Amino acid sequence: MSPSFAPLKNDTFLRACMRQATDYTPIWLMRQAGRYLPEYCATRSQAGSFMGLATNVNFATEVTLQPLARYPLDAAILFSDILTVPDAMGLGLSFAQGEGPRFANPVRDEAAVGQLHVPDMNKLRYVFDAVTSIRKALSGQVPLIGFSGSPWTLACYMVEGAGSDDYRLVKSMLYSRPDLMHRILQTNADSVAAYLNAQIDAGAQAVMIFDSWGGVLADGAFQQFSLAYTSQVLARLTRKGVDDQVVPRIVFTKGGGMWLQEMGQLDCEVLGLDWTMNLGKARALVGQHKALQGNLDPNILFASPDQIEAQVRRVLDSFGPPHQDLHATGPTHIFNLGHGISQYTPPDHVSCLVSAVHSYSRALRRVA
């Protein structure tokens, strides 16, 4: 039986995803639950490790709600990680304190690729249980976003076995054994589609695909090894959630600005942009089909509140006049950072950011 939840009180984010007019520009932040919040660090030390946090439904629910208790954000994002999927494939994920993720069993040769399978979704039950628990705890305050890594971004970690500066191992495989790379990507696409659909069935109201390392690919390779598989995933997603509402799909390719026109052809509702893109130009290129999400440089949050406000105005102005026709769809913007928030961000600066986005975007609608 599908779970049932309280009615949504703030639908600004979902409306903007669907290119409908809103009273102000909604905002949420990538990595909004994380180490810049002292309460996150406290819960994390109680849990003992990052995976201890992510695999415990109560802890995952608690930390998802932490940023919403501090700031009037317009969406919540499931607290988990993109690497839960390769972990469930048996790659052995660990996060050592102060280090990035690491896989005990990276996929580097034909034998390892041959052993790779779509994981049993029961191994990821803790993620779907967290989605349902968070939806209940939110009581309709704001919508909940589910997420996954893109097939390519997951493959980067699976082959490298950790983060990488040069992507040497994964690119070596891509160029020398493209057949193996395609087999990994196909398994990942099948896994990601099943994983996101299970999140939707558990109560996710929007889903986002993080193609964090799409931008490291050469032109041509991006289309073949990243975009094609993201596109396959999108085609297989359940269109309506447990509330019988459309579930908007967001695709974020970091460093993908030069392929925006091609990404405009994807069967999704929203494209996420990093800080290298101009939102007005992006709107001219794809604004007739897609809502846009982004794209403040996260490092601006280290500047003074005055400078943060000025940069917020710059980003909102760069998008151009807000769409205000309640009877038609039009170009819409969801405010976010161009990548995840840094762990060194002063929490007060986030208050300043959220209030500047809300107040200035309301003012833009009054004058228009």
Q: How far is the CB of 27 from ligand CP3 (least distance, A)?
A: 13
User: How many C-beta neighbours within 10 Å does residue 98 have?
Assistant: 5
Q: Which position has the token pair 């946090």?
A: 53
Choose one: 94-102, 192-200, 298-306, 321-329; the region binding ligand CP3 (CB under 6 A): 94-102
Q: Report which secondary-structure segment, H or E, holds 233.
A: helix 228-235
H helices of 161-177, in order, are 168-176
Q: CA 50, CA 142: separation in Å to the nearest integer?
A: 25
Q: CA 268, CA 139: separation in Å to the nearest integer?
A: 27
Q: How far is the CB of 110 from ligand CP3 (least distance, A)?
A: 26
Q: Is 210 a binder of ligand CP3 (CB under 6 A)?
A: yes
Burial (0-12, 13-18, 19+ Cβ within 10 Å), 168 = exposed
Q: How far is the CB of 122 from ligand CP3 (least distance, A)?
A: 22
Query: Helix axis angle, 57-70 relative to 347-367, nearest 10°?
Result: 60
Question: Which residues ranging from 138 to 157 are in contact with ligand CP3 (CB under 6 A)?
Answer: 147
The DSSP letter of residue 336 is: E
By the 8 A CB rule, do 291 and 19 touch? yes
Choose one: 30-38, 119-127, 295-303, 304-312; the region binding ligand CP3 (CB under 6 A): 30-38
**DSSP state string for 272-305:** E--TTS-HHHHHHHHTTT-EEEEEE-GGGGGS-H
Question: Which residues ranging from 325 to 354 are in contact with ligand CP3 (CB under 6 A)?
Answer: 340
Nearest to 223 by CA among 183, 270, 169, 266: 266
Q: How far is the CB of 105 from ligand CP3 (least distance, A)?
A: 17
Nearer to ligand CP3, 100 or 321 (CB): 100
Q: CA 348, CA 344: separation in Å to the nearest integer?
A: 12
Nearer to ligand CP3, 100 or 140 (CB): 100
Question: Which residues ranging from 48 to 87 are in contact with ligand CP3 (CB under 6 A)?
Answer: 50, 77, 79-83
Binding mask 10-29 for ligand CP3 (x = CB under 6 A): --------------------
Binding mask 35-54 for ligand CP3 (x = CB under 6 A): x--------x-----x----
Q: Is 34 a binder of ligand CP3 (CB under 6 A)?
A: yes
Q: Is 215 a binder of ligand CP3 (CB under 6 A)?
A: no
Choose one: 95-103, 173-181, 183-191, 301-309; the region binding ligand CP3 (CB under 6 A): 95-103
Q: How far is the CB of 136 from ligand CP3 (least distance, A)?
A: 18
Q: How far is the CB of 104 from ligand CP3 (least distance, A)?
A: 16
Q: Report which secondary-structure segment, H or E, holds 94.
A: strand 93-95
Burial (0-12, 13-18, 19+ Cβ within 10 Å), 38 = exposed
Residue nearest to ligand CP3 (CB): 212
Nearer to ligand CP3, 67 or 119 (CB): 67
Nearer to ligand CP3, 95 or 126 (CB): 95
Which positions lie near ligand CP3, rule CB under 6 A? 30-35, 44, 50, 77, 79-83, 95, 100-101, 147, 163, 210, 212, 340
